[in-house]
Amino acid sequence: MQSPINKIAVVGTGVIGTGWIIRFLFNNKQIKVYDPSDKQKKFLLDEIKRTKQLLKKFYKKKINIDNQLKFCSSIKEAVSDADLIQENAPENEKLKIRIITEISLHTKKSSIIASSSSGLLPSKIQSKAKHPERILIAHPFNPVYLLPLVEIVPGKKTAKVNVVAANKFYTKIGMKTLILKKELPGYLSDRLQESMWRESLHIINEGFASTKDLDEAIIYGPGLRWSLMGTFLTFHLAGGEMGMKHMLEQFEPALKLPWTKLKAPKLTNNLKKKIIEGTKMQSKNKSISNLANQRDNFLIDLQKLLKKYKV
Ligand code: NAD
């Protein structure tokens, strides 16, 4: 049985490493920190100062930096007694393999080593490490101390018991875990974000719109709905009383239109079935009008929030 995870090492304290540290602090963890750049210490302390009051209310907890946080001068010093190591070095495969391997040489065999990589394959990252069965990806979203999602991606050599332990740990610190069945580059969320990003770059490059136009095209429309329902349930409602089935019938021809530079897959019967059944399951047998009411109420509240926090 895995022991509880209380001692944490954070390697790399840029935007994401710092975000993790703040989340860990508010979850009463002991954290040892390593970053080769001296100026990152100031960045981290400034970020803690900036967010402290807001997060005290959010987490309903106080933190004690002197007791909980220790700065270290080497990877070895930071990781040697850690139960979990969160690696947040720059997104570079060679560098990550090197750092993860170094971490693996200096940790307890039972500790979990998690990389925050945004899309690299865990099988690659664990390829040279000692005891690769405890290495996995735990991909968060910025700001880590507020956004709950973390994608857990096991590599070919990752042991199930460690995926289970990681899942339990991240859930316990208030996160929404998504465990990927199989590793794929970019995982789930970043593949979705990336497709829109690439499309946006095409549109801008060809002079059809400004970055502001494209941001507004999300902020005042799809973005409001996405934060509640994602793409599939949203499109389920777009199909009227017939839901996703009608939506697919109506918009199947659009998949052939030159609306995107990405190639859509062929809408086979098998794919249609998966999508229709998936959305049916997601909607938990609620009627379209019931779901629509829920969505509308949410959108009204969300727009009040948007007004309040609009940049
Ligand atoms: P960043 O550039 O802000 O921070 C990287 C940190 O790594 C820096 O503080 C740097 O000094 C440190 N570093 C450099 N070499 C190192 C080494 N040899 N050992 C230890 N630390 C080293 O980058 P970031 O945005 O925090 O990204 C870190 C990781 O998190 C990347 O893998 C990235 O893909 C992932 N990630 C980023 C985001 C995001 O929105 N920025 C979201 C999710 C995941």
Q: What is the CATH number of the domain that holds 136?
A: 3.40.50.720
Per-chain mean pLDDT for the chain: 94
Q: How many residues in total does the chain contain?
A: 311
Does residue 292 belong to any structural domain of this protein?
Answer: yes
Does residue 194 belong to any structural domain of this protein?
Answer: no
The preferred substitution site among 42, 77, 118 for testing ligand 1, maximizing ligand atoms within 8 Å of CB, is 118
Quote the ligand 1 centre to 39 CA distance (angstroms).
14
pLDDT reported for residue 86: 98
Quick one: 174 and 227 in the same domain? Answer: no
In this structure, what are the phi and psi dihedrals at residue 100, rounded to the nearest 5 degrees?
A: -65, -40
What Cα–Cα distance (Å) separates residue 265 from each residue in 235, 255, 278?
Answer: 17, 9, 17
pLDDT-based confidence at 2, cuts 50/70/90?
A: low
Reduced to 3 states (helix: H, G, I; strand: E, B; else coil), residue 54 is helix
Residue 3 has pLDDT above 80, yes or no: no
Q: What percent of the chain has pLDDT over 70?
A: 99
Quick one: 26 and 159 in the same domain? Answer: yes
Residue 1 has pLDDT above 60, yes or no: no
Ligand 1 pocket residue status of 88, Cβ below 6 Å? yes
Does residue 2 belong to any structural domain of this protein?
Answer: no
In this structure, what are the phi and psi dihedrals at residue 274, rounded to the nearest 5 degrees?
A: -60, -40
Please report where in the chains the tokens 């996995």 appear, as a residue: 136
Ligand 1 pocket residue status of 16, Cβ below 6 Å? yes
Ligand 1 pocket residue status of 142, Cβ below 6 Å? yes
* Residue 260 CA to its chain's centroid (Å): 25
Hey, CA dihedral for 133, 155, 160, 26, is it positive or negative?
A: positive
pLDDT-based confidence at 300, cuts 50/70/90?
A: confident
Quick one: 96 and 15 in the same domain? Answer: yes
Quick one: 145 and 232 in the same domain? Answer: no
Average pLDDT of the segment spanning 17-25: 98
* Least confidently predicted of 85-89, 209-213, 304-308: 304-308
Does residue 202 belong to any structural domain of this protein?
Answer: no
Does residue 198 belong to any structural domain of this protein?
Answer: no
The domain boundary, picked from 179, 207, 229, lies at: 179
The domain boundary, picked from 164, 179, 194, lies at: 179
**Domain limits at 263?**
220-309
pLDDT reported for residue 117: 98
pLDDT reported for residue 311: 78
Does residue 229 belong to any structural domain of this protein?
Answer: yes
Residue 131 has pLDDT above 80, yes or no: yes
Residue 262 has pLDDT above 90, yes or no: no
CA nearest to 271, candidates 232, 239, 226, 234: 232
Residue 169 has pLDDT above 60, yes or no: yes
The domain boundary, picked from 179, 194, 211, lies at: 179
Ligand 1 pocket residue status of 79, Cβ below 6 Å? no
Hey, CA dihedral for 279, 285, 291, 294, is it positive or negative?
A: negative
Ligand 1 pocket residue status of 11, Cβ below 6 Å? yes
